[in-house]
Chains A and B, each alone.
Chain A
Amino acid sequence: MSATTTTLYGVAATLVQVVLLGLGGPLLVGVMAKVKARAEGRVGAPVVQPLRDLRKLLTKERLHARHASVVLPLAPMVILASTVVAGAISPLVSTHPLLGSSADILVIVYLLLTGSAAAALAGLDAGTAFGGMGSSRAMTIGALAEPALLVAVIALSIQSGTSNLPSIMSSTLTHPDWVFGPSRLLALGALLIVVIAETGRIPVDNPATHLELTMVHEAMILEYAGPELALFSLGEAMRLGLLFSLVANLFLPWGIMTDHTLLSLLLGTVALVAKTLLVALGVALIEVRSAKLRLFRLPELLAGGFVLSVLAVVTGLVTR
């Protein structure tokens, strides 16, 4: 296998990943809304509705709040850019994407956090009360979720002896018994709680309402309109897709592209879509079955996630 072919397939895998996230993220949001609607006995909007919304928003005029600064137009770009970079270097379709060697798991976590910080700044920028409230709540949730996320990440890297995400996935492929070990399952529980908190799904936040007492994410985007709202929503949808597919790949690594053939690229793509849909289905069913938690009860949920991740680390050390 020549170096050129390796690079070529790396570039191809990276391109597929970014395109898949860009199109698949909004579609995933649509699929989850559809699943929820069906489970609640409604027909629901078509699956492509988020994409249609994006197209509609992109044709509209750019409008800024009077007191907004440069942060307002910049924040959506930061969110989108950080998500695209994280999606390009993460092992989603292939374990050897271009620049995969720099995909340390902490790099991915902090790239995603850059996006969260930009969203919080965007909420504060226009100076409205609701935006500030949303940002403060989002940062509180983020600060509580981060320890759980980092400790869960440590649990994963203890098992594989590396914090490089592609290496973690390849070593999981060679040790399939890890997947059903207690350490991995506990880390999965912790990561699911964190992902639900970070993407603002139901026990933490309800993205479908504008209730001023509870809204978190919707409060931050109140001042956005037109193309900037489209960029913001696209970034958030890609983030959701990225987080779901990372969780899916860490816990069901099979099917990911490990060699350099066209067939495995195709297989990796199909497997990624199937696994991510499975995670999305699971989260949608959790959303249907649970009620939104009161804001003051959220520390309990996230502390639970933290304890699960500590348990994952300890069992990882015990059973190593």
Chain B
Amino acid sequence: MNRHLTPNLILGAILVALVVGVAGLSLIWTPHDHALMNIRERFGAPSDVHWLGTDQLGRDIVSQLMVAARNSMTVALIAVLMGGSIGVALGLLASALGGWFEDLIMRVADIGFAFPALLFAIMLSAVFGPSLWVAVLAIAFINIPVFARVTRGAANVIWTRDYVAAARAAGQGRFAISRDHILPNVAAPVIVQATIEFAIAILAEAALSYLGLGAQPPSPSWGRMLSEAQTLMFMAPQLAIYPGLCIMAAVLGFSLLGDALRDLTDPRLTRSRQA
């Protein structure tokens, strides 16, 4: 077996493909309308029509889970892209300019690290009212310092390389060097971090939705499905178990994939893996 194809990578890739595939499929097809209520068929058992049964309002659970997967992926993707691009830009800038500017950015990042996403989300909901965008903004915000730190650390190493000196000798300025030489060479650790942050973002979205700070009804979300099922725990435990399993599969998938990618791209770990 190829030594790059570790069990982590395979399992992670399969889970991620499954979750992303289902989320994508929900754009064009779901078994039923996820919001269609049918009180007479509430708490329906799994059947040919409703594969995983129906919930307390008679809505199809599979359809809800599929749309919730899409919502979750969308929030995570936008949040990681937003936080990631701002964080990467700040990290590159800090590394390129150095001196007090670098210190300032990194100390501000430290403060950002100390600031819990939940608190920020509650603050935003207090101002704008709870919505999916509050969740997106809150998760994006906590991602900024993470990416700034990873990027700046990797970029500082690349700045000492001879090809950067050669580029300076050829008259390139700091920003052009950051664009042409630093960014492509820090892409690997940044992509790995993005995969791991994606898992964290899914979990954060579920937590915020659980508290009612994320997706609002009727738009389904795993976190809210979980919180609505809580009161029915002894009557219909399956309503809590399905979204719980979905959250677990998605988070586990992205975490495993991120870990496997890091093992592949981090040369320091190569030796221990071969030993």
Check if A and B associate. no
A residues with a Cβ closer than 8 A to B are none
